[in-house]
Each structure stands twice: as structure tokens, then as C-alpha cells.
């Protein structure tokens, strides 16, 4: 685990990813659904990635094909509190794009905020259609936490769970 990542963070990522997997598996009408055009009885699995891969999970089928790449973040604010714009690390977006292109599958950024669970399908325009500025965490007083961030408006996010998601239960 990276220096700042704790087991509780990994547990939160698992909640977000598992709910996404379930939503995509049972709601074929969700935009950019990776389950479309797959055999009906296909099962999907989350494969945790090591820290050096930068992303959190690969989504694979029961026959071993990678059908999705995901990164998960758990935020404590709602859309109103962040001005309906969510900053995301450019570094994370680039790695999601790269792995999605390498596996020829969609890449998703998953986010929990106080309004629900949301996903952003990463594509070629994710970086070019949004504002990029230096930003990041400031609560740790670590200059390495500041990096280029892409600011993505709420309108680009799809929702797969409405309302509060608690860590336990």
C-alpha cells in the first residue's frame, strides 16, 4: 500500500467498485456499459491492481478478458460544496486512458460523494474539453500532493447509485 493509503481506504474502494460492477451487470441501459455485446451468462470479477499500475482494479470476465479499467475515490462533500466541479489528477486520467487503450476496453473513474456514486467514462476528450490547473490536497502540507488537476463538471458524470453510501452496512 502507498504511504498514505490505509486499509479503510482499500475497503472504501472495494465498496465503490463492487457497487459499480453490480450496477453494470444488472442495468444494461447505463451509459457506456461494458457488459453490452457480451454473452448473457458472463460473470465479471474485480482484479485489484498493485500500486505501481496507478489504477485500482481491472474488470475481467469469467474467461479472463479485461473489459474495464477503474480508479475509485471516496469524497466527503456533495456537488454543491465543490461548485459542481470535481478536480481529478491528470496523472490518474492518463493512466486510465493508457490501460483502457492497451486492453481495448472502457476506462472509468468512479467516485463516491455525499450525493451518491458516480462514474466518468474516460475518453480522448477528457483532458481537452476541461480546464487543467495545479491543485490537490493541502491538508498534509506535502508539496508532492500538488499536481496538474483536470476540473470535470457534474454534467459529464453518470450516476449509478443515488443517495448516501456508508462505509459499513
1 — pLDDT class (breaks 50, 70, 90): very low
- Distance between CA atoms of residues 12 and 49, nearest Å: 15
Percent of the chain with pLDDT over 90: 70
Q: What is the pLDDT of residues 86-115, one digit of tens each?
A: 999 999 999 999 999 999 999 999 999 999
Task: Decide: 56 and 109 in contact? Cβ < 8 Å.
Answer: no
Between these two residues, 99 and 135, which has the higher pLDDT value? 99
pLDDT of 168 over the 80 cut:
no
Q: Does any domain span residue 116?
A: yes
96 falls within a domain: yes
Classify residue 58: in a domain, yes or no: yes
Domain count, the chain: 1
pLDDT above 50: residue 169: no
Mean pLDDT on 28-52: 88
**CATH number, residue 134:** 3.40.1350
pLDDT-wise least confident of 1-15, 46-60, 84-98, 114-128: 1-15
pLDDT for the residue 4: 64
* Residue that wins the pLDDT comparison between 2 and 28: 28
Q: What is the mean pLDDT of residues 41-70?
A: 94
Residue percentage of the chain with pLDDT more than 70: 95
Q: Residue range 156-160: average pLDDT?
A: 95
* Domain extent at residue 110: 7-162
In this prediction, residue 143 carries a pLDDT of 73
In a domain, 168, yes or no: no
Asked if residues 54 and 91 have their Cβ atoms less than 8 Å apart, the reply is yes
User: How is residue 74 annotated by DSSP?
Assistant: E
On whether residue 152 sits in a domain, the answer given is yes
Q: Is 70 helix (H, G, I), strand (E, B) or coil?
A: strand
Read out DSSP for 85-142? EEEEEHHHHHHHHHHHHHHTS-EEEEEEETTEEEEEEE-TTTTTSSEEEEEE--TT--
User: Is residue 2 a part of any domain in this protein?
Assistant: no
Per-chain mean pLDDT for the chain? 90
pLDDT greater than 60 at residue 2: no
Residue in the structure block whose three cell numbers are 481529478 = 88
What is the tens place of the pLDDT at every residue in 71-90?
999 999 999 999 999 999 99
3-state helix, strand, coil in the chain (%, to 5): 25, 35, 40
Round to whole Å and give the CA distance between 119 and 16: 10
- Residue 112 placed within a domain: yes
Is there a domain that residue 169 lies in?
A: no
Amino acid at each position: 500500500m502507498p504511504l498514505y493509503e490505509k486499509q479503510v481506504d482499500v475497503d472504501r474502494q472495494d465498496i465503490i467498485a463492487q457497487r459499480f460492477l453490480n450496477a453494470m451487470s444488472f442495468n444494461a441501459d447505463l451509459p457506456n456499459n461494458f457488459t453490452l455485446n457480451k454473452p448473457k451468462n458472463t460473470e465479471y470479477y474485480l482484479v485489484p491492481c498493485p500500486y505501481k499500475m496507478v489504477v485500482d482494479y481491472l474488470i475481467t470476465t469469467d474467461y479472463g478478458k479485461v473489459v474495464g479499467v477503474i480508479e475509485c475515490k471516496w469524497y466527503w462533500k456533495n456537488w454543491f460544496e465543490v461548485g459542481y466541479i470535481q478536480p481529478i489528477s491528470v496523472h490518474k486520467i492518463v493512466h486510465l486512458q493508457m490501460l483502457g487503450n492497451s486492453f481495448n476496453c472502457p476506462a472509468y473513474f468512479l467516485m463516491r460523494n455525499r450525493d451518491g456514486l458516480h462514474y466518468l467514462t474516460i475518453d480522448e476528450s477528457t483532458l481537452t474539453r476541461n480546464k487543467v490547473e495545479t491543485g490537490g490536497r493541502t491538508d498534509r502540507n506535502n508539496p508532492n500532493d500538488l499536481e496538474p488537476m483536470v476540473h470535470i463538471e457534474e454534467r459529464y458524470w453518470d450516476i449509478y447509485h443515488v443517495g448516501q453510501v456508508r462505509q459499513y452496512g
